[in-house]
Structure 1
Amino acid sequence: MHVHILGLGPIGTLVAHHIRRTLRPPHIVSLIHKNQERADKAENVLGNRILAEYSGVAVPSTGFWHEAFIPSHPQTPEQRRETFREHRNRAKIQSLIVCLKTHQTLPAVGSLYNRITPHTTIVLLQNGMGMMELLNRELFTKPEYRPNFVLATNTHGAWSKGYMHSVHAGIGEINLGIFPPEYNPGKDGEKVDFERSWEKKNELSLDDIAPNPNIVQERVKSSGKEEVNLEAEDRMRRFKSLRATIEMLTRLKSLNVSWRPMRQVNTLMQRKVAINSVINPLTTIMNCPNGALFHHREAAQIAMKLCNEATTVFYQQHRREMKRAKFHGENIGYRPFPRELLAHALLYEVKRVARITGSNYSSMLMDARKGNDTEIRSMNGYLVGIGDKCGLPMHANKMMVDLVGLRTRIPLISSTDSLSL
């Protein structure tokens, strides 16, 4: 297996460390750096190793491959075809784990476009929502040629002590969900169901993704002939990397990785984006740590408005999905709206997260301090987009988008700067 990791911030570095210690050679773990200078530094200056620090003890992992890409703007279809012809002999990517910030993802994945095939598996391990839809809209426009997508939520806390040196500051968990493909290679157009075993056994099975290639090979060797039908062959070829990626990631026990039904993961993602859409923009605007927010009544009032809007759009989205399934004759049964997405539950979780991360500064605030772009459009902007589709006013979230945008354009003034009136 060959795994590529795109985005070497705290979480990307931490995940790369655990994958390398779990996947022993001859399996390959390639790190994709922002530029060749960083790739050379990682390989030659830093000794081709990652340091993951726990309670002051740095644990090394070694034996990585290194690549570099030059971030570029998304290409037109004609440019992508030309790039593909130029680089058609370059190694195709089997499994790509994306740990970049959302606003960096489209150009970065676009630069790898010629190496991504329908057999590739892309894991989106990021904050925010809507990135898969954006990639499909801009890059993978035809459903039959799209890669496999795994969406993930992460609650681990980590920060960078230096390049390729991540400090694991808070133990959490990673939950994976496989997005069902729009293109179905099954017989007579039958939809692919990666969660078939869940309804019967309340657990997921790798065999529902694709047959185990090792078992298939053993059958062939023992019988001297192929004992798998053409449909199973096609499924094994199409989803081989997807099965291997899920199997590999769920072996990362130290990171508490679980594969769960997509609807559960989607709820977790919705809850996280709602929480981030309160804490991140408010701390960015006020230039304060997370724990400073809810000492003041005004913060709770603003947070309640943001949570109410999030609940409203998620509820409308839920109703639309249920109606769509009924219209298409899908027997999904009655699914109540998740209680954890109700406004009071979201507000409780916002306050809890702010309290337990009280001394932390949000990543959005750190980006604003540096004058960098933020992830506001994949958080509050994502909620505003759903509201627009449903015809719902999103005044509080729209205000957050505008204020954070303004904050990144007007530099934060330090206490040491002199002011003149």
Structure 2
Amino acid sequence: MNIVIVGPGAIGSLWAYSLYQAGHKVSLWSKHIRPTSSLTLENVDGEIHPHISFPAQEYSQLNHADLILVTVKAWQVTQALSPLLEHIHTDTILMFMQNGMGATDQLFPALKHYPTLLATTTHGAWKPSSDYVRHTGLGQTTIGALNSKGESCQFIADVFEHALPNSLWVNDISVPLWAKLAVNCVINPLTAIHQCKNGQLLSDTFTTTINKLVEELVLVMSQEGISITHAVLRQQILSVAQATADNFSSMQQDIIHQRPTEIDFINGYLVKIAQQHGIKTPENKQLFQQIKKLEKQWSQL
């Protein structure tokens, strides 16, 4: 397949390299204007794979793409993709892989012309430099359709499975997206505010806060048709914190490097949906406001 990765950050670079290794023709598109972009991959076992040069910023690649994988930050989705749509054939599959939910909402009217997919992954990746990506943890990628045209694209799960297991197709992508959102609503803001690793959230210090956050999440998710108990959701969140104990969350990294976070699409999204159902979420709202306050501090510098 001809595949373009829009936003080759850590996760985008991991997929670019993996899909290339699986035999696909891969090119990159980013905010940096340069004719080629090189990547070296270090896998989870510490093995370093050869340096590969990818074509970049080529409109011809967009014109002939079979699949465009969008891996920019959630707040960048609209501004990144809107200028490109006129160069993309309506048969091209669009796949969005971001933290949080709601990133494609503004684009939804335009996306009806394309087979469109949403995906979420628990693979870990870190990009210490522009040309080096480290696969920091094995995970699972879940893919599903955003619109009716996307429902005929189940084969994409096999493409991704061949490139980087485990990947699977689900008929209702909202279920895994809400599950991932719940994890992010707890781990991301808490690690960002307290500037700690994920595993530190397992200490008794955070028990009360996590329980209150989970209580709010269960209420909202039930109104969205996602049935889950407090005990099960809490355990899922703590299991992720345990499995990624030595990692820093993406939001923690955004805060420490004074970059915009995805809080609007994580706790912000949760609060917005809760309001639509008349549910109060004071704990999630407080975390949202604390992160926005931190962002505001450096935006005024």
Does TM, normalized by the shorter one, top 0.5? yes
Q: Distance in 2 between matches of 1:343 and 1:243?
A: 32
Counterpart residue number, 1:364: 251
Q: 3-state DSSP class of the match of 1:255? A: coil
Q: Distance in 1 between matches of 2:19 and 2:211?
A: 40
- Between structure 1 and structure 2, the one with the greater Rg is 1
Shift of residue 65, structure 1, vs aligned partner: 1.9
Aligned pairs for 1:219-368 within 5 A: 242=153, 245-252=156-163, 254-261=164-171, 263=172, 265-297=173-205, 299-318=206-225, 337-338=226-227, 341-368=228-255
Q: Distance in 2 between matches of 1:23 and 1:63?
A: 14
Q: Could you tell me the TM-score, scaled by structure 2's length?
A: 0.89
Q: Distance in 2 between matches of 1:122 and 1:342?
A: 34
Segments of structure 2 that go 5 or more residues without pairing to the other structure are none
Q: Please tell me whether the aligned partners of residues 132 and 149 of structure 1 are also in contact (alpha carbons under 8 angstroms).
A: no
Q: Distance in 1 between matches of 2:14 and 2:257?
A: 24
The code of the aligned residue for 2:213 comes to: L
Counterpart residue number, 1:33: 30
Q: 3-state DSSP class of the match of 2:104? A: helix
**Aligned counterpart for 2:141 among listed residues 174, 181, 190:** 174
* CA deviation string 1:205-254 (max 9, x = no partner): xxxx2xxxxxxxxxxxxxxxxxxxxxxxxxxxxxxxx46644532322x4
**Aligned counterpart for 1:57 among listed residues 26, 41, 47:** 47
Shift of residue 13, structure 1, vs aligned partner: 0.8
Q: 1:31 to 1:50 in 2, by over 3 A?
A: farther
The code of the aligned residue for 1:156 comes to: H
Q: Distance in 1 between matches of 2:267 and 2:35?
A: 38
Q: Please tell me whether the aligned partners of residues 129 and 269 of structure 1 are also in contact (alpha carbons under 8 angstroms).
A: yes
Q: Please tell me whether the aligned partners of residues 44 and 136 of structure 2 are also in contact (alpha carbons under 8 angstroms).
A: yes
Q: Could you tell me the TM-score, scaled by structure 1's length?
A: 0.65
Q: Please tell me whether the aligned partners of residues 275 and 350 of structure 1 are also in contact (alpha carbons under 8 angstroms).
A: yes
Q: 3-state DSSP class of the match of 1:410? A: helix
Q: 3-state DSSP class of the match of 1:112? A: helix
Q: 3-state DSSP class of the match of 2:182? A: helix
Q: Distance in 2 between matches of 1:247 and 1:294?
A: 36
Q: 3-state DSSP class of the match of 2:125? A: strand
Counterpart residue number, 1:116: 88
* CA deviation string 1:47-75 (max 9, x = no partner): x454343422211263632117xxxxxxx
Q: Which moved more, 1:288-297 or 1:273-282?
A: 288-297
The code of the aligned residue for 1:14 comes to: L
Q: 3-state DSSP class of the match of 2:56? A: strand
Using the aligned pairs only, state the percent identity.
28
Is 1:148 aligned to residue 55 of structure 2?
no
Is 1:375 aligned to residue 262 of structure 2?
yes
Q: 1:106 to 1:161 in 2, by over 3 A?
A: same
Structure 1 stretches of 4+ moved >3 Å: 242-247
The code of the aligned residue for 1:260 comes to: V
* CA deviation string 1:176-223 (max 9, x = no partner): 112342xxxxxxxxxx794xxxxxxxxxxxxxx2xxxxxxxxxxxxxx
Segments of structure 1 that go 5 or more residues without pairing to the other structure are 43-47, 69-86, 182-191, 195-208, 210-241, 319-336, 412-421
The code of the aligned residue for 1:99 comes to: T
Q: Distance in 2 between matches of 1:61 and 1:150?
A: 30
The code of the aligned residue for 1:108 comes to: A
Aligned pairs for 1:156-171 within 5 A: 156-171=123-138
Shift of residue 358, structure 1, vs aligned partner: 1.8
Q: Distance in 1 between matches of 2:255 and 2:207?
A: 23
